[in-house]
Structure 1
Amino acid sequence: MELNDQQQQVVSDLSQPILLNAPAGTGKTRVLACRVAHILETGAAEGPQILCLTFTNRACKELKNRIIATAREKGLAVVVKTIHSFCYSLIKEETKRQSDRYNDFLLYDDEDCRQIIDSLPAAASAPGNDTQALQNFIEFRKKQRVIPDLHDFTAPKDALQAWLSDHGDALVQQYDAVLDDNHAVDFTDLITGAYDFLSEDACCQRWRDRFRFIAVDEMQDTSEVEYAVISRLFPGRNILLCGDYFQTIYEWRGSYPEYILEQFRKTYHPREITFTTNYRATQLLLKAAESCLNHLFGQVTVHHIYPQPGQAAAAVPGEPIVVHQADTFLDESRWIFQELNQLPPEERLKACILVRGNRQAQQLWTGITAHNLHYPPASRLPVTCIDQFHLFKRQECKDVLAYLRLLLNKHDNLSLKRILLRFVPRIGRRTIETIESESYRRLGLRLCDFIDPISQETGDPYGLLLTALADGRIVVFDVESTGTDTTTDEIIQIAAVRLDAQGQVTDKFNTYVRASRSVGTSFYVHHISDDQLAVEGRDPKEALSAFLNFARDAVIVGHNV
Structure 2
Amino acid sequence: MLINREQQRVIDEVEQNILLLASAGTGKTNTLAYRVAHLIEGGYAKAENILCMTFTNKAANEMKDRIQSLVGSPAKAVEISTFHSFCFFVLQQEGKRNETLYTDVTIFDEEDCKELSEPYRPGKLREMSFANIIGMVKEYRSLYGFYSDDLVGDYKRTIDRLQKEQRPAIEQQFSSFGNVLYSELHDFLNHGHEWIAAYDENLASVHGLDFTDLICGVHRLFQDPVVRERWSSRYSYISVDEMQDTGVLEYKVLEMLWEGNHVLLCGDYFQTIYEWRGSDPFRLLKQFDADFKPLKIIFYENYRSNWTLFTMAFKTLQNMFPDLVGSIYTELPRANSERKGKPVLIKGCKNSYLEGRYIYEAICALPKDANIGVLVRDNKKAQRLSDSFERLNNEKAEDERRHFMIIDEFKFFRRQEIKDVMAYFKLLMNPNDSVSAKRIIKRYVAGIGDARIAAIESPETRQVGLKLTDFMDMPIFEAEPYAKLVSGLENHEVVVYDVESTGTDTSQDRIIQIAAIRIDENGQVLETFERFINPGVPVGQSEEVHGFSDAYLKEHGEEPAIVLQAFKEFSKNAIIVGHNVNYDVTIFTNELARHNLGNPEFKAIYDTLDIYRRFYPNLPNHKLGFLASEFPINHEPTHNAMDDILATSQLLIYAVKENIVPTTTGRMVAINKYKAAFTNIASQMATLRRKAYTELPTQLLAYIMNQMGVLEYYKSHGEVAKVEHIRDLYRIMEKLDAAYEGPAGLARLNQILQMAALTAGEPAQQVRNEDRIPIITIHQAKGSEFDHVFLAGLNEGTFPSPFAIAEGREDEEKRLFYVAITRPKQELTITFEQTNIRGRAVQPSSLLNYMPRDPELVERRY
TM-score past 0.5 threshold: yes
1:479 is displaced (CA, Å) by 7.3
* 2:247 alignment partner AA: S
* Corresponding position: 1:439 with 2:460: yes
Pick aligned residue for 2:481 from 451, 461, 469: 461
Distance 1:113 1:222 in 2: 23
Residues 321/552 of structure 1: CA separation in 2 closer, same or farther (3 Å cut): closer
Q: Contact between 1:479 and 1:492, CA under 8 Å: does it hold in 2?
A: yes
Cα pair 1:51 1:80 within 8 Å, conserved: yes
> What is the one-letter code of the residue matched to 2:5?
D
Counterpart for residue 215 of structure 1: 239
1:83-134 CA-partner distances (Å, limit 9, x unpaired): 111111111111133444210111111211112222x2x23xx131511111
Alignment of 1:254-293 (within 5 A): 254-293=278-317
- Aligned residue in 1 for 2:785: none
Which deviates more, 401-410 or 69-78? Answer: 69-78
Q: Measure how far apart 1:294 and its partner are.
A: 3.6
| 1:7-26 alignment, distance < 5 Å | 7-26=7-26
CA contact (8 A) 2:497 2:576 kept: no
Higher mean displacement: 276-285 or 368-377 = 368-377
Q: 1:14, 1:238 within 8 Å by CA — same for their partners in 2?
A: yes
Tell me which moved more, 441-450 or 375-384.
Answer: 375-384
Indicate the SS of the match to 2:332: coil
What amino acid is aligned across from residue 49 of structure 1 in structure 2?
Answer: N
Match of 1:244 in 2: 268
| 1:450 partner amino acid | F
Which sits farther off after the overlay, 309-318 or 103-112? 309-318
Matches within 5 A, 1:120-199: 120=119, 122-123=120-121, 126-148=122-144, 152=169, 155-157=173-175, 158-159=180-181, 160-199=184-223
Tell me the CA shift for residue 285 of structure 1. Answer: 2.4
State whether residues 518 and 528 of structure 2, in contact with CA within 8 Å, keep that contact through their aligned partners in structure 1.
no
For 1:478 and 1:41, how far apart are their aligned partners in 2?
A: 45
1:456 positional shift: 1.3
Question: How far apart in 1 are the matches of 2:572 and 2:84?
Answer: 45
Which of residues 328, 343, 347 is equivalent to 1:324? Answer: 347
Partner SS for 2:376: coil
Change in Cα spacing, 1:318 to 1:546, as seen in structure 2 (3 Å) is closer
TM-superposed CA distance for 1:165, in Å, is: 0.9
User: 1:379-400 deviations in whole A, cap 9, x for unaligned?
Assistant: 3333332338822122332222
The answer to whether the 8 A contact 1:473-1:553 is kept is: no
- Structure 1 position 300, deviation (Å): 0.9
Distance 1:367 1:203, change over 3 A: same
Instruction: Indicate the residue corresponding to 1:419 in structure 2.
Output: 440
Which residue of 2 is the match for residue 206 of structure 1? 230
Give the letter for the 1:38 counterpart: H
Q: Is the 8 A contact 2:493 2:518 kept in 1?
A: no
CA distance in 1 between partners of 2:60 and 2:221 (Å): 24
RMSD: 3.6
Q: 1:495-546: per-residue Cα shift (whole Å, max 9, x none)?
A: 66412xxxx57x544769576899999999xxxxxxxxx9xxx99999x979
Aligned pair partner of 1:335 in 358, 369, 384: 358
SS of alignment partner, residue 144 of structure 1: helix
CA distance in 1 between counterparts of 2:71 and 2:574 reads 57
Equivalent residues of 1:482, 1:492 under 8 A apart? no
* Deviation string, structure 1 residues 427-453 (Cα, Å, up to 9, x no partner): 111110111112212222110122333
Mean Cα displacement is larger for which, 318-327 or 426-435?
318-327
Q: Following the alignment from structure 1 to structure 2, what is the Cα–Cα distance between the partners of residues 374 and 553?
A: 71
Instruction: Label 1:45 to 1:434 Cα distance change in 2 as closer, same or farther (>3 A).
Output: same
Q: Which moved more, 1:399-408 or 1:72-81?
A: 72-81
The separation in 2 between residues aligned to 1:42 and 1:546, in whole angstroms, is 46
Per-residue deviation, 1:557: 4.8
SS for the counterpart of 2:72 is helix
Kindly state the Cα deviation for residue 493 of structure 1 after the two structures are TM-superposed. 7.2
Greater shift after overlay, 325-334 or 437-446?
325-334
Instruction: Give 2:740's aligned residue.
Output: none
Matching of residues 326-365 of structure 1 within 5 Å: 326=349, 328-341=351-364, 343-346=365-368, 349-365=370-386
Structure number with greater CO (CA < 8 Å, separation at least 6) is 2
**In 2: Cα distance, 1:383 partner to 1:480 partner:** 55
| Maintained 8 Å contact 1:21/1:242 | yes
1:33 to 1:479, Cα distance in 2 relative to 1, 3 A: closer
The answer to whether the 8 Å contact 2:52/2:238 transfers is yes
Instruction: Note the residue ranges of structure 2 that are not aligned, 5 or more in a row.
Output: 145-160, 548-554, 579-647, 653-862
Distance across 1 between alignment mates of 2:514 and 2:73: 44
Tell me how far apart the structure 2 counterparts of residues 55 and 495 of structure 1 sit (CA, whole Å): 48
How many Å apart are 1:330 and its aligned residue? 2.3
Query: Matched residues, percent identical?
Result: 35
1:300 aligns with 2:300: no
CA distance in 2, matches of 1:404, 1:439: 29
Please say if residues 497 and 514 of structure 2, whose CA atoms lie closer than 8 Å, have aligned partners that are also in contact. Answer: no
Residue 403 of structure 1: aligned partner: 424
Alpha carbons of 1:269 and 1:511: their partners in 2 closer, same or farther (altered >3 Å)? Answer: same
Q: Residue 113 of structure 2 corresponds to which residue in structure 1?
A: 113
Cα deviation for residue 24 of structure 1 reads: 0.8
Shift of 1:491: 5.8
Matched position secondary structure for 2:448: coil
Q: How far is the alpha carbon of 1:281 from its aligned partner?
A: 1.9
The answer to whether 1:394 aligns with 2:415 is yes
Residue pairs, 1:1-40, within 5 angstroms: 1-40=1-40
Does the CA contact (< 8 Å) of 1:224 and 1:259 recur in 2? no
Compare 301-310 and 22-31 and name the one that shifted more. Answer: 301-310
Shift in Å, 1:356 = 1.7
SS at match of 1:133: helix
User: Structure 1-normalised TM-score?
Assistant: 0.85
Deviation per residue, 1:206-247 (Å, 9 max, x gap): 111121111111111111111111221101111110021111
Deviation at 1:68, TM superposition (A): 1.1
Q: 1:323 to 1:85 in 2, by over 3 A?
A: same
Residues 98 and 484 in structure 1, CA contact (< 8 A), matched pair in contact too:
no
Distance in 1 between residues matched to 2:399 and 2:569, nearest whole Å = 76
The aligned residue for residue 259 of structure 2 is: 235
Q: 1:397 to 1:304 in 2, by over 3 A?
A: same
Matched, 1:60 2:60: yes
TM-score (normalizing by structure 2): 0.57
What one-letter code is carried by the residue in structure 2 that aligns with 1:464? Answer: K
Could you say if the C-alpha distance between residues 46 and 465 of structure 1 is closer, same or farther in structure 2, counting changes exceeding 3 Å? closer
Q: 1:548, CA displacement in angstroms?
A: 8.3
Deviates more, 1:181-190 or 1:476-485: 476-485
Distance 1:229 1:344, change over 3 A: closer
Distance 2:371 2:498 in 1: 66
Q: How big is the shift at 1:174? A: 1.6
Change (3 A) 1:552 1:325: closer
**Separation in 1, partners of 2:559, 2:310:** 74
SS of the residue corresponding to residue 349 of structure 2 reads: coil
State the shift of 1:155 in Å.
3.1
